[in-house]
A and B are shown apart, each in its own frame.
Chain A
Amino acid sequence: MSKWRSAEQQRIYGRRLLEALRSARSSLTGPWGIKKAADYALALSARGQSRWSRAILFGRSRGGKVMLKHKAGGKIRRLRRFHPPGKLAAAQMNGSKVRDRLRLLSRLVPGCRKLPVARVLAETADYMAALQIQVNTMRAFVDALSAAAVAARRTDGELDVEALR
């Protein structure tokens, strides 16, 4: 998890995102195209070492079905709706509230639905750090690019105004 803290990782992710944005891929169109591209770039930067990154990387290829056992030769598992016993068995997280929230959390983090509590928490920590990097990078992108667009339009506008005069 410490790897997320480095500026180097942020730059790596920034470059990956930039490449994704530049490429005129069809996946970029649509309301969530850029989000998917950003998440994919983030998972790539994680190098598939965490469960959520693997879920993102392989979730795209399978068209929505999360592939849980990629190691086992790419077996596809369907997402099950009942809650896995792994969470309950682990250390008796007391209270139904806690368990409900754990379930919710495991649903939030991609690819962590059937994990025991300890794994879910570890994945959450990694995912949170990654999301932080993603937000920072994308915000920088947006600001820089929008400023660039504004500047570009300004130069165009100046040209137009001059042309008008």
Chain B
Amino acid sequence: MEKEPFFANSTVINWQMRSPDAAASLPKLNSGHLNLIWDQTIDQSAKFGSALSSLVSSPSSNLPATTAGGDSVVIHELIGRLGSICNSGEISAPSSHYQSANNSCYSTPMNSPPKLNLSIVSNPAHMPFSADPGFEKAARCSTFGCSGGGSHGGGKFMFPEVGKLGNAQESSSGSGNAKKRKAALKAKGNETPLSSSVTAITNPPKKAGVGGLNAKKSKPSEETGVEKESAREDADAPSKKMEEEKINKPPEVAKDYIHVRARRGQATDSHSLAERVRREKISERMKLLQDLVPGCSKVTGKAVMLDEIINYVQLLQRQVEFLSMKLATVNPQLDFNLENFVTEDMEIHQNCGLLPPQPVYPLETTSSSFSFAKQPERTPLISINGLELEGQLNPFNHPNFSRNLSMQQPPLEGIADASCQLGTFWDDDLRTVVQMGFSQNQENVFSKSFPG
């Protein structure tokens, strides 16, 4: 994550100037503390998400204190908690006091503000516009700090779009969530000047109420997570999620507990949270599989992807069957030659390792001709290709001609699609090994066949 020491400064300061509400108490606290905290937390920016998630319970408990005086107290406590969490991560926080300032700013807006903040942190391009995003954050902080006062865009965390902010303010929390997310995403994606964000701050949204609502909503979810919390952060997952432009909670921690944050506007009971975690795990695995299966980068959707995976696994298994049968025919003739070809095998293995997996349909069809493959859905294709292969095999049916050669040649010259692939395979790997023997043998066989 990138470091944005500046924007903390400017955000706090600017925000203080503009926000009438918590101006008095907060500026002194935040400007100094935030700078320090930012310097440290920047290193931990990735951990911020989880740290903040753990903080949920703390802000939630502190939110009720909405008075201006109470804000500072709340802020202090929150910062302290954030500091504790940051400490557990790795930061040598100067003091929990400093961190409490951070907490206050980011704990109140349950989910999206921390995420958005981190996204800003991660985007170095935002540095020049530090004032503007800072305004946004400051606005949020202020709104959360004074949830009761609700002076500044309560729960709205989107940066650049004034209109969106206004919309968010007006709409209910549910619909506002979608808009907020969009705006937040835009904020993440765009580096456009955020001058509009300044005006956004001045909008006295009625969002404070909404923000308070959201805060309360997230409370139970966060509490469940926090109770189990071991105060350890996972740097990778949160940063990944941030970059993915999802206002998600970091789903997993490598350590004991899974830190999950409920999405804004979604159910926050532990069951759905756990379900969401599992769903994300599964989608992660599906992406892994997508990389393994060749030619599935464009496929979207679980059903089609699973279909491709199943087909590929079946294809590989059939290839293994076919090759094992081929090996069986070759094997008895090799008793005395195995040692000679161990080294050649090793060469070929190295070359094979570099080959991309090729769908070798011609091999598959030849296997079917031996009635080893029993896949009903493949039979039409197999029959057609089998005919082709039969045609190819005929000229090579010669008593002197070994079955191996006959099987090798049709794949090489018969089917156009795979032939080039196989041809390259053969060229790269077998030229060095087999060229001499192969070509000579062919000549010999042909020469023998004519008189014979």
Complex partner residue of B437 from A94, A133, A154, CB under 8 angstroms: A154
Min CB–CB distance A77 → chain B (angstroms): 23
* A-chain residues with CB within 8 Å of residue B408 when the two chains form the complex: 143, 146
Roughly how many angstroms separate A121 CA and B333 CA in the complex, as a whole number? 41
Give A146 to B310 CA distance when docked, in angstroms. 31
Task: Check B282 against A150 for contact (C-beta < 8 Å).
Answer: no
| CB pair A121 B289 closer than 8 Å | yes
List which B272-322 residues lie within 8 A (CB) of chain A. 275, 278-279, 281-282, 285-286, 288-289, 292-293, 302-303, 306-307, 309-310, 312-314, 316-317, 319-321
A91, A129, A157: the one contacting B279 at CB < 8 Å is A91
Contact check, A105 vs B349: say whether CB atoms are below 8 A apart.
no
B262 to chain A, nearest CB (A): 16
How many chain B residues sit at the interface, stated as a range, is 35 or more
Contact check, A33 vs B328: say whether CB atoms are below 8 A apart.
yes
Q: Quick one: which of B288, B309, B320 contacts A135, CB cutoff 8 A?
A: B320
Does B337 touch A at the CB level, under 8 Å?
A: yes
CB neighbours of A10 from chain B (8 A): 349-350, 352-353
**With A101-B307, A108-B317 given, is the CB distance from A143 to B429 under 8 Å?**
yes
Tell me the smallest distance from the CB of B280 to a CB of chain A, in Å.
9
Interface string of B325-369 (1 = CB under 8 A from A): 111101101101110111011101111110101000000000000
- A34: contacting residue among B314, B327, B441, CB under 8 A: B327
Report, as a range, how many residues of chain A touch the other chain. Answer: 35 or more
Report if B192 contacts A (CB, 8 A). Answer: no
Secondary structure type dominating chain A contacts: helix
- The CA-CA distance from A11 to B355 in the complex, in Å, is 15
Q: Flag whether B28 is at the interface (Cβ < 8 A).
A: no
Contact B437 A135 (CB under 8 A): no
Most chain A beta-carbon contacts within 10 A, residue among B279, B316, B345: B345
Residues of B within 8 A of A136 (CB): 349, 352-353, 355
> Which of B312, B342, B405 sits near A150, CB closer than 8 Å?
B405
CB distance from B180 to the nearest CB of A (A): 26
Instruction: Enumerate A123-137 residues with CB–CB distance to B below 8 Å.
Output: 124-125, 127-129, 131-137
Please classify the interface of chain B as helix (H, G, I), strand (E, B), loop, or mixed, using the class held by over half of its residues: helix
Contact B302 A93 (CB under 8 A): yes
Asked if A154 contacts B349 (CB within 8 A), the reply is no
Q: Is the CB of B348 within 8 A of A144?
A: yes
Shortest distance between the CB of B363 and any CB in chain A (Å): 8
Partner of B404 from A109, A141, A149 at Cβ < 8 Å: A149
Closest residue of chain B to A154 (Cβ to Cβ) is B441
| A contact residues around B286 at 8 Å (CB) | 121
A residues contacting B by CB (< 8 A) are 1, 6-7, 10-11, 14, 18, 21-22, 28, 31-35, 38-39, 90-95, 97-98, 101-102, 104-105, 108-109, 117-118, 121-122, 124-125, 127-129, 131-154, 157-158, 161
The 4 closest A-B pairs by CB, nearest first: A151-B437, A136-B352, A91-B278, A140-B348
Q: A140-B351, A140-B429, A145-B331 are in contact. List 14 more A-B contacts (CB 8 A).
A: A10-B353, A21-B338, A35-B324, A92-B275, A101-B307, A108-B317, A124-B289, A136-B353, A138-B320, A146-B330, A146-B402, A148-B334, A150-B402, A151-B438
Q: Please, could you name 12 A-B residue pairs with CB atoms under 8 Å apart, sorted by A? A: A14-B346, A21-B338, A31-B325, A34-B325, A101-B310, A124-B289, A125-B289, A135-B357, A142-B330, A147-B433, A154-B441, A157-B444
